[in-house]
Amino acid sequence: MLVHFIVHESFEAPGAYETWALKRGYNATFTRLYLGDTLPVIVDSLDILIVLGGPQTPSTTKDECPYFDAAAERDFILQCISAGKAVVGICLGSQLVSEALGAAWEKSPETEIGNFPITLTTTGRSNDKFEHFDLSIEVGHWHNDMPGLTPEAKIIASSQGCPRQIVEYTNLVYGFQCHMEFNAEVIEGLIEASKDELAGLIENKYVQQPDVLRANDYAKMNETLAVFLDRLTEAYLTARHQ
């Protein structure tokens, strides 16, 4: 099993996604765009694509960020989806997944940074990949935007600040606006990269400051994410052998 990560920034690290892959004994490969890596030419060898977050939006131009090519990422994501690969987009990644499928990203009603609960929708509660989720579970957030919805998309979970926290596009393709991969190391990198942003949002009710961010417990969300990823992998293997 080969899990490939697209990493936009050093401080938007894979966290619990990478931990899950390594604990399962899967091979993990990386396109670190901020270091000048290029996207793979061939998608056949990979099984699961995980597209991470970043401060960019899908509308960010190459003039604004020379190593970020939204069109190339959308094309690569669509290649993976068309080839029957499992795909998970996180934050910016979720918005790129939606755009690859023809649904434009949108601004979220609220900026959310920190640990806040998401709640499963009726659709989410009936989805076997999410039956292990609590009806309401505290997860990580660090966003201003949210993914678009295709006609076939199903909203799995929402929050008070954002109506599209987890979206199912197909049985193998998901967008996570939330960050269930957060751990102490990932959070420290984000805090270091976002000092001015955090200071400017000190009055925002959905934004936690560094002392709270560091004190949050990320273990349960990481464990819950791992079970989802196991079930996604099972669905991928089943589809591959049909």
CATH number at residue 189: 3.40.50.880
Residue 24, in any domain of the structure: yes
Q: State how many domains the chain has.
A: 1
Domain that includes residue 18, residue range:
2-237
Residue 100, in any domain of the structure: yes
What are the tokens at 58? 């899908």
Residue 16, in any domain of the structure: yes
How many residues are recorded in the chain? 242
What are the tokens at 1? 């099993």
CA distance 100 to 79: 9
Return the closest-CA partner of residue 161 out of 128, 194, 192, 201. Answer: 201
Specify the pLDDT at position 242. 78
State whether residue 76 is helix, strand or coil: helix
Residue 242, in any domain of the structure: no
Specify the pLDDT at position 41. 85
Longest dimension (CA), the chain: 53
Specify the pLDDT at position 42. 86
Residue 143, in any domain of the structure: yes
CA distance 233 to 48: 8
Residue-by-residue pLDDT tens, the chain, 242 positions? 999 999 999 999 999 999 999 999 999 999 999 999 999 988 999 999 999 999 999 999 999 999 999 999 999 999 999 999 999 999 999 999 999 999 999 999 999 999 999 999 999 999 999 999 999 999 999 999 999 999 999 999 999 999 999 999 999 999 999 999 999 999 999 999 999 999 999 999 999 999 999 999 999 999 999 999 999 999 999 999 87
Q: Name residue, tokens 């640990």.
A: 115
Q: Which helix (H) or strand (E) holds 162?
A: none
Residue 52, in any domain of the structure: yes
Q: Please provide the average confidence, as pLDDT, over all residues in the chain.
A: 97
Residue 14, in any domain of the structure: yes
Residue 122, in any domain of the structure: yes
